[in-house]
Structure 1
Amino acid sequence: MALKSLPLSDVYALLEPGPVVLLTTADKTGRANVMTMSWHMMMEFTPPLVGCVVSEGNFSFKALRATKECVIAIPARRLAAKVVKVGNCSGRDFPDKSGADKFRAVGFTPLPAKDVHAPLVAEAFANLECRVVDTRMVARYNMFVLEVVRAWRDPAQKNPKTIHHQGWGRFAVDGRIITLKSEKA
């Protein structure tokens, strides 16, 4: 078997770390925003720490850096078209100072969070309220380390399937679940 060279610009599609999620923020004036994000990773179990990359060109970057809090909302497959729509527009495109225009434009409902000012996304099957706990990699890599301070799950959404970005508009959907013996439960 002969291996074929792969363009370096395609490497990210091989290593996408997890499901496509929504990141919500609220700036110091209370204006909410939502963006699509797929560059994130679990870093620790207890407390749950998540590393995420938010481009400084994104409207949410400034709010996340200033307020040091956000929500990671995890959408199921049925929301894929809306998730892509969020990713193809910017909060700058909406004049409403509350940020509700972008949520409305894509058909998402912002809900108040308990411990952060950023809104939850009602349609997501899970929402993670987060606070930034480490910014040392922001200047160099736009990478924030978040601590999940509260987690929510919609019990009505049984066995949701997540979407995983494979690059250039292609997504994989979670498949069959297998269980293998593990030393830890």
Structure 2
Amino acid sequence: MPRTRAVPIEHTRRYLEPGPVVLLSTAHKDERGIMTLGWHMMLGEDLVGTYIWSANRSHALARRSRECVINLPTEALLDTVVRIGNCSSDEGDKFQRFGLTPVPGTDVDAPGIGECHARFECRLHETRITADYPLFVWRVVAAHVASRPKWPRTVHYRGDGQFMVSGPTVSRRRLFRPDMLG
């Protein structure tokens, strides 16, 4: 059994951060936005929950349009991901500012980001917006993924400005019951 030590509760995310950092792109009328997002979770095969702070411009765009694209950047975009997170869409168009390619959606009006490994077009399924927790639940309506590499080097935020880059993939398929594979 490993030895443990007490750590501050606010360090919890350094250990439990479940998924890669994504770029959420939104659009409403003639305005579009991109935000860096680490607070998201799978809620089912086609449902994704995202926490979008109400002070973010993307929050207003997402509420008004009821659509977004969840873009999966890789390690090659890490510096851009951080820089996007450090500024507001109120300061100008982030596609232009960061030299990103807007890709028209097939099922939503929000643009995807061409430089990302994958784009998941979403429509708002429901919201659970309270004073403290603006949770958006999205239904993925279209998915576009690059054919290579099969397992991209995604980035995962550990807190305190530190990231983990995904590494080797290890299969344990043989240990799964067939009905549990998904």
Q: TM-score, normalised by structure 2?
A: 0.90
Unaligned runs of 5+ in 1: 95-100
Name the aligned partner's letter for residue 100 of structure 2.
F
Partners in 2 of 1:138 and 1:51 — Cα distance?
A: 12
2:91 corresponds to: 93
Name the aligned partner's letter for residue 36 of structure 1.
T
2:60 to 51, 59, 62: 62
2:10 corresponds to: 9
Would you say the 8 A contact 2:24–2:37 is kept in 1? yes
SS where residue 43 of structure 2 aligns?
Answer: strand
Partners in 2 of 1:24 and 1:13 — Cα distance?
A: 25
Would you say the 8 A contact 2:68–2:121 is kept in 1? yes
SS where residue 83 of structure 1 aligns?
Answer: helix
2:103 corresponds to: 111
Would you say the 8 A contact 2:102–2:114 is kept in 1? yes
Partners in 2 of 1:2 and 1:75 — Cα distance?
A: 35
Would you say the 8 A contact 2:102–2:111 is kept in 1? yes
- For residues 86-107 of structure 1, give each alpha carbon's deviation from its aligned partner in whole angstroms, at most 9, with x where no partner exists: 111110111xxxxxx3112122
> How far did residue 157 of structure 1 move?
4.4
**In the alignment, does 2:126 pair up with 1:134?**
yes
Unaligned runs of 5+ in 2: none
> How far did residue 2 of structure 1 move?
6.2
Partners in 1 of 2:161 and 2:20 — Cα distance?
A: 14
1:183 corresponds to: 177
SS where residue 61 of structure 1 aligns?
Answer: helix
What's the C-alpha RMSD, in Å, of the aligned pairs? 1.5
> How far did residue 44 of structure 1 move?
0.6
Which residues of 2 match residues 20-99 of structure 1 at below 5 A? Answer: 20-27=21-28, 29-45=29-45, 48-94=46-92
Work out the number of aligned pairs and report it: 175
- For residues 43-85 of structure 1, give each alpha carbon's deviation from its aligned partner in whole angstroms, at most 9, with x where no partner exists: 111xx10011000011100111111110000011111111111
1:146 corresponds to: 138
**In the alignment, does 2:123 pair up with 1:167?**
no
Would you say the 8 A contact 2:123–2:140 is kept in 1? yes
SS where residue 80 of structure 1 aligns?
Answer: helix
- For residues 21-56 of structure 1, give each alpha carbon's deviation from its aligned partner in whole angstroms, at most 9, with x where no partner exists: 0000002x23110000011011111xx100110000
Judged with a 3 Å threshold, the aligned counterparts in structure 2 of structure 1 residues 44 and 106 are, in CA distance, closer, same or farther, namely same
Partners in 1 of 2:96 and 2:150 — Cα distance?
A: 25
Name the aligned partner's letter for residue 129 of structure 2.
V
Partners in 2 of 1:55 and 1:71 — Cα distance?
A: 17
